Amino acid sequence: MIEWQRGRTAVDMIERDDGLLVANQSAPMLFAPLRRWPEAEREAVCLARGDVLDVGCGPGRVALHLQGRGHRVTAIDHSPLVVQVARDRGVRDCRALGLDQVGPGIGHFETVIMFGNGFGLLRSRAAAPRLLRRLAAVTAPGAQILASSLDVYQTSDPVHLAYHARNRARGRMPGQLRLRIRHRHRATPWYDFLMVSRDEMAEVAGAGGWRLDRTIGEGKYYVGVLTRGAVG
Amino acid sequence: MIEWQRGRTAVDMIERDDGLLVANQSAPMLFAPLRRWPEAEREAVCLARGDVLDVGCGPGRVALHLQGRGHRVTAIDHSPLVVQVARDRGVRDCRALGLDQVGPGIGHFETVIMFGNGFGLLRSRAAAPRLLRRLAAVTAPGAQILASSLDVYQTSDPVHLAYHARNRARGRMPGQLRLRIRHRHRATPWYDFLMVSRDEMAEVAGAGGWRLDRTIGEGKYYVGVLTRGAVG
C-alpha cells in the first residue's frame, strides 16, 4: 500500500491457509474517490450521521470523504504505517489502534463505519460478539454500524467450496478465512477474516448485541446496517 | 503457461524457500520469437550445428526456430502438459523426459541447448556432474552445450545477499535456489535451480567432463559454450 501511495504498482499476494495464493487487488480501491467506490458503499455512506468511528480506515478514503461532509471522524487502523499515510493524506484524527483495543477512551460515536469488507475484522463467530460489544461501549443506543461484506457462497469454484466444507467440518463459519499477506520476502502473521451471507451477518450481529436492520446492495458485495439495542 | 497459450495473462508465482515470493514473468519469453529473445541467446543460437537436443524445451521456441533452420531437433521437457503444447505448436519430435532420464536411447547429438536459464536444470554442485555425464553419453567428442545462466551475484539486494550467505553456510553454491511454482491453490514440489557466475559455470562444467570455452553476452544473463572432452 505504501508503494502504491508512492505511485508504484506493487503487487502483494493474499495467501489462504489451504495454499490458495491470489494477487491482492484492493490497492486501487483503498485510494478510490467516492465515484469509484463499490455501489453499496456509495449508497450506504449517505446514512452516516453524527460523529463517526472509521474502523480499519486504511489510507482514509472514507474518513476523508466524511470529514469533507462536516462529520467529526476518528479513524483507526492497526498499522502505524498505514495511519501515517492516512494522516499525510489529510485525515485529522487518525490513530494506530486495532478493533480489539477500542475502548471508552476514544470517544462516543453515532456511526461506526467498517468498509472495504470491514465486517471481516470481526474475525470469527467466536471473536465477533466481544468485538461488537467493544463497539457498543463507544456508541449510544440507536447508533449504527455500516459494515460491508462479501457473500462468499455465491461461487461455484470447487477450491472455495472445498474450503467452506473444511471450515464447516472444523466447526467454523464457512466464510472464516485464515489469511496472510505476502510481499516479496515479507509475510504478515496469519489472521482470521470473516466473510458472511446476509443471514449470517444477522446472526453474528445479534450475538453481539446489534441488530441487522437491512442490507444495501444486490450483489455479492453488500453493506449491512446494524443498529444497537438499548443495552450496551 | 497453458493459460498463456490460450491467450490469458495468468500470473503464477515463484516461491523461494526463504519465503521470497515473486511473480513469474517468464511466460511471454517462453513464446517469444527470435527477435525478442535475450541478446545472448539470439547470438548463441547461431552456433548450433548438426542434430540438436533441446533440454527443458518448454513450449518450443528454440526447437521451432532450429527446425525452421533445417536442424533435426529432439526436444524434451519433464512436463507432459508442456510437451503437448510444444507438439501443438509444431515441434516434431518432443518427449516428456527429464534431464535425469536422458540416456543413449534418445539419439546422438552435436548440440545440446539449455536456454531460458537452462543451466539451472543441473540443480546443484552435487547433482550437476552426473547430469552432465548423461549429456556426454548422448553426444560425440567435440559436441557442445549452449546453456544460459544468470550471474546472481550482480545484485545489492539484501534479501538475495542473505540467501547467498545462507547457502554458503550450508555448503551449497550461493546461487543454488530452492524454488517452487505456485498458481492459485496449486504448488509444484520444491526443486533446486542453479544460477552461476561465469567462473562457477567453468568449475561445474569441468567437474562433469565439459569445458567452458567462452561465454556470450556482457550482462548478468549470458550463455556459456561448453565443449566435450575426449572421454565420455
pLDDT band with cut points at 50, 70 and 90 for residue B73: very high
pLDDT band with cut points at 50, 70 and 90 for residue A28: confident
Q: Which residues pair with A196 in a beta bridge?
A: none
pLDDT, averaged across chain A: 93
Does any CB of chain A come closer than 8 Å to the CB of residue B189?
Answer: no
Give the span between the Cα atoms of B187 and B183, in whole angstroms: 6
Give the span between the Cα atoms of A189 and B94, in whole angstroms: 45
Contacts of B186 in chain A (CB under 8 A): 19
Phi, psi dihedral angles at B164 (to 5 degrees)? -60, -45
Q: Which three cell numbers stand for residue A224?
A: 449491512
Mean pLDDT, to the nearest integer, of B49-62?
Answer: 97
Instruction: Kindly tell me if the per-residue pLDDT of B8 is higher than 70.
Output: no
Q: Which residues pair with A176 in a beta bridge?
A: A194
Beta pairing class for A94-96 and A73-77: parallel
Q: Looking at A9-51, which runs of residues are DSSP E strands?
A: 13-16, 21-23
Instruction: Kindly tell me if the per-residue pLDDT of A229 is higher than 90.
Output: no
Q: Which three cell numbers stand for residue B100?
A: 535425469
By C-alpha distance, the chain B residue nearest A181 is B21
Does any CB of chain B come closer than 8 Å to the CB of residue A8?
Answer: no
Q: What are the pLDDT digits (tens) for A29-60?
A: 888 999 999 999 999 999 999 999 999 999 99
Instruction: Kindly tell me if the per-residue pLDDT of A24 is higher than 90.
Output: no
Contacts of B160 in chain A (CB under 8 A): none
Residue A184 is classified by DSSP as B
pLDDT, averaged across chain B: 93
By C-alpha distance, the chain A residue nearest B159 is A185
pLDDT band with cut points at 50, 70 and 90 for residue B5: low
Beta pairing class for B139-150 and B221-228: antiparallel
The per-residue pLDDT for A2 is 57
Work out the percent of chain A whose per-residue pLDDT is above 90. Answer: 86
Q: Could you give the ipTM of this predicted complex?
A: 0.72
Residue B123 backbone zone (phi > 0: left; psi -120 to 50: alpha; other: beta): left
Within 8 A by CB and 6+ apart from B26, the residues are: B116
Residue A67 backbone zone (phi > 0: left; psi -120 to 50: alpha; other: beta): alpha
Q: Which three cell numbers stand for residue A219?
A: 450483489
Give the span between the Cα atoms of A19 and B141, in whole angstroms: 48
Does any CB of chain A come closer than 8 Å to the CB of residue B134?
Answer: no
The per-residue pLDDT for A7 is 56
The per-residue pLDDT for B131 is 98
Q: What are the pLDDT digits (tens) for A132-150?
A: 999 999 999 999 999 999 9
Work out the percent of chain B whose per-residue pLDDT is above 70. Answer: 94
Q: What sign results for the dihedral spanned by CA atoms A32, A35, A36, A39?
A: positive
Distance of CA A127 to the CA centre of its chain: 14
Instruction: Kindly tell me if the per-residue pLDDT of B12 is higher than 80.
Output: yes
CB contact under 8 A, B21 and A11: no
Instruction: Kindly tell me if the per-residue pLDDT of A108 is higher than 60.
Output: yes
By C-alpha distance, the chain B residue nearest A16 is B185
Instruction: Kindly tell me if the per-residue pLDDT of A176 is higher than 80.
Output: yes
pLDDT band with cut points at 50, 70 and 90 for residue B50: very high
By C-alpha distance, the chain A residue nearest B21 is A184
Question: Position B30: which residue type?
Answer: L
Q: What are the pLDDT digits (tens) for B165-192?
A: 999 999 999 999 999 999 989 999 999 9
Instruction: Kindly tell me if the per-residue pLDDT of B197 is higher than 80.
Output: yes
Does any CB of chain A come closer than 8 Å to the CB of residue B203?
Answer: no
Please list, residue by residue across B130-160, b when 16 or more beta carbons sit within 10 angstroms of its beta carbon and e when fewer do: ebbebbbebbeeebbbbbbbbbbbeeeeeeb
Least CB-CB distance to B187: which of A19, A23, A185? A19
Does any CB of chain A come closer than 8 Å to the CB of residue B158?
Answer: no
Residue A125 is classified by DSSP as T
Q: What are the pLDDT digits (tens) for A91-100?
A: 999 999 999 9
CB contact under 8 A, B184 and A20: yes
pLDDT band with cut points at 50, 70 and 90 for residue A230: low
The per-residue pLDDT for A212 is 98
Give the span between the Cα atoms of B228 and B230, in whole angstroms: 7
The per-residue pLDDT for A232 is 42
pLDDT band with cut points at 50, 70 and 90 for residue B26: confident
A122-126, A154-158, A182-186, B25-29: which has the minimum mean pLDDT?
B25-29
Within 8 A by CB and 6+ apart from A3, the residues are: A9, A10
